[in-house]
Structure formats: C-alpha cells, structure tokens
Amino acid sequence: IVIVIVIISSPRKAENNSSAAPFYFLRFFRPTITMRPNEAGEASFAKEVRLDEWKRWAAECIDESSERLGELSRTIWSHPELAFEEHQAHATLTNFFAALPISSSSGPWSVQRSYKLETAFRADWKWDWAPCSPAETNQVPPPSPLPLRLGFLCEYDALPAIGHACGHNLIAEVGAAAALGLKGALESLRQNPAGLPRQAPAVKITVLGTPAEEDGGGKIDLIKAGAFDNLDVVFMAHPSQEDAAYLPDIAEHDVTVKYYGKTSHAAAYPWEGLNALDAAVLAYNNLSLFRQQMKPTWRVHGETFLHSYVQQVISDPY
C-alpha cells in the first residue's frame, strides 16, 4: 500500500509543484497520443486527452457539488466529537454518499456504514469502461486484467475544548470532493473514448472514513483489520499554510514526568515543604533553553497539570 498525504491550502502554487494538489491523482493517466487502425486497417491519430482536460472535468464535478460539500463541512465543524465518538459526523458522511445522485452511465455508491469500527465507513464506486451501447464497442478499448484501486481518506474527529482546530471537517470535505472529482472525470472520459490508452484499467474508487486520528489510532486499527488491503494507493489532504504534495512526517513519543514534593503551609512553615512546582518549572525552562542545541527538525512541547489549586499550599504532587 502506498499512502500519499496531499497538503492543500491557498491557491498559490508552490515553486516546485507544477500542478494543483487536489488533482495530483490525475497523473496516473498520462496525456498521450495513440495510434489506432481505422476500418481500412490504416493507422490514425486518436484524440489526445490531456491532463488539463482531466482537471477541468474534475473541477466541474466538484463545483456542481460545492453546496453539498460546504454543508457537509459546516455540519461536522458545528458538532465536534472526540475519538471513536464521531457518531453525528459518521452519519453525515455516510448519508452524503448514500444520497448522491445516480448518473445515467454508472451505478450508485456502495456504502458500508460501520466498516470494521463503529464510527468508520467505506464507500465504493467502480468504473469498468464497458461500452454503453453496441455502437461504442469498437471505440472503447478493452480493460486491463486488474483494476486500478484508488482510496481517499476522510477524517472527522475533533480535539478536546478546541473542537475542529485541526481542520478535520475540511479533511472530510476534501476527501469526498476528490473522490467525486475523479468519478466525474471518469464519467466525462466516456464522451472521449478515443483518448483512452489501450488496455485502460478499470477503476475502483474507495472512500474510507477513518475515526480517531487525534487520539486512539483509528487508522492503525483499520490497517490491522484489513481495511487497506487491496488498495493500490491512498490519498489524503490536510489543511496547511503551504502548498505541497508531501511533507515529511515527524515521529512522536509522549513522556510523562511526575514531580513529588512535600506539602506544607507556604506562609507559616515554608521550610517544611518541598515544592514540586518549582522542580517542574525548572525542568520546563531548561527544556526551552535546550532547544538552542536541538536540530531544526526536532520539536519538544510541554503540558503542565497542577494537582493543587490552593495558593497558600506548596504543591505535592505536581
């Protein structure tokens, strides 16, 4: 499995990125000119399907669904839910895919509402390049033996106290939008079958709803349960201030340090106490100073939890 994280932010293009991030997946289909024999057995040029046409088709499909996508994001934003408790966001997303209109040339999305985990879901849509009518039989190239299986991820859990400050409502919206955009581009391609390469693969689009990203490791549980099996590549978009197809990941490890002192009255008998808060403050400040010697890629952040909130009592423990 290849997991690709796509960072989407402002419309400004990155200097080293020649195309917009939302359409990164369209590079699977190379813009080529192919030679095909006509009825007389002579070679002729087939119409070229260029990447900008794919982008246009995808963008038009996303624009048509913009109101529904915006409402999807706003609904999730307005009702933040913690890890493994994303019941309303889960219902919002599954209802969204189940209610999508059915086109004349393709079937509906197949939605599994509780997929491996209670608040996870899976929505599938398949395109097999089969001709719509006998007249198209000679225009549509035969499919390759194996389909191209593309996955898009939706996250939707929130953070305690600050809700969707990490923008998971946007991750859900963009995951759904990218899947709809690709579906629309594939359906539009039927109108231009001469641009298909020979042995064009069938395409299966899978949208995975992955709960508990902030805490709990929902994707880890889904991987162990086989949810990512049989997917060739998986895409995800995260809000950011930068435009980039990929940003390096940073490994994370949590360390909890407890300081134990000796309680005493801070005004009457301070010499009888051992101040655990002082020790914690010294450690925090020393870590801040130590950042001068840390490598640019290292990050250290601290949280403090005070057990005693009485001002006249020396803290124990901290």
- How confident is the model over 69-92, as pLDDT tens digits? 999 999 999 999 999 999 999 999
Which residues constitute the domain of residue 274?
Answer: 264-314
At residue 158, the pLDDT reads: 97
Domain end among 201, 224, 240 = 240
Q: Are residues 165 and 291 in the same domain?
A: no
282 and 165, same domain (yes or no): no
Per-residue pLDDT, 244:
79
**What pLDDT was estimated at residue 154?**
98
Residue 5 pLDDT > 50: no
Q: For residues 283 and 230, state if they share a domain.
A: no
* 111 bridge partner residues: 123
**% of the chain residues with pLDDT over 90:** 47
The reply to whether 184 and 98 lie within a common domain is: yes
62 and 161 part of one domain: yes
**Confidence label for 19 from pLDDT (cuts 50, 70 and 90):** very low
Per-residue model confidence as pLDDT tens digits over 108-155: 899 999 999 999 999 999 987 655 555 555 555 555 567 899 999 999
User: What does the pLDDT read at residue 17?
Assistant: 35
**Same domain, residue pair 152 and 283:** no
In a domain, 206, yes or no: yes
pLDDT exceeds cutoff 90 at 171: yes
* Amino acid at position 95, single letter: N
Q: For 54-75, write each residue's pLDDT tens digit.
A: 899 999 999 999 999 999 999 9
Q: Which pLDDT tens digit goes with each residue over 188-221?
A: 877 666 555 555 678 999 999 999 999 999 999 9
Query: For 227-260, what is each residue's pLDDT tens digit?
Result: 999 999 999 999 888 777 777 777 778 888 988 9
Distance CA 249, CA 268 (A): 52
Which contacts qualify for 271-279: CB closer than 8 Å, 24 or more apart? Answer: 273/314, 273/316, 274/314, 274/316, 275/314, 275/315, 276/314, 276/315, 276/316, 276/317, 276/318, 277/306, 277/314, 277/315, 277/318, 279/318
Phi and psi torsions of 109, nearest 5°: -75, 140
- Distance between start and end Cα atoms, the chain: 45
The reply to whether 227 and 294 lie within a common domain is no
Q: Please, which pLDDT band fits residue 35 given cuts at 50, 70 and 90? A: very low
What was the pLDDT predicted at 220? 96
User: Does residue 152 sit in the same domain as residue 287?
Assistant: no
Note whether residue 101 is domain-resident: yes
Total residue count of the chain as it appears in this document:
318
Residue 20 lies in a domain: no
* One-letter amino acid of 86: E
Q: In sequence order, what are the beta bridge partners of 305?
A: none
Tokens (6 digits) for 10: 């402002």
d(CA 52, CA 288): 49
pLDDT band for 32, please (50, 70, 90 cuts). very low
Q: How many CB atoms lie within 10 A of CB 65?
A: 18
Q: How far apart are CA 127 and CA 298, in angstroms?
A: 45
Q: Verify that 167 and 235 share a domain, yes or no.
A: yes
What number is the average pLDDT over the span 24-28? 38
User: How many domains does the structure of the chain reveal?
Assistant: 2
Q: Compute the mean pLDDT over every residue in the chain, rounded to the nearest whole number.
A: 79
**199 found inside a domain:** yes
- Work out whether strand 35-37 and strand 43-45 pair parallel, antiparallel, or are unpaired: antiparallel
Residues 283 and 292 sit within 8 Å (Cβ to Cβ): no
Q: Is residue 252, in this structure, part of any structural domain at all?
A: no
Q: Count Cβ atoms within 10 A of the Cβ of residue 57 and give its class: 0-12 exposed, 13-18 middle, 19 or more buried.
A: buried
| 60 and 162 inside one domain | yes
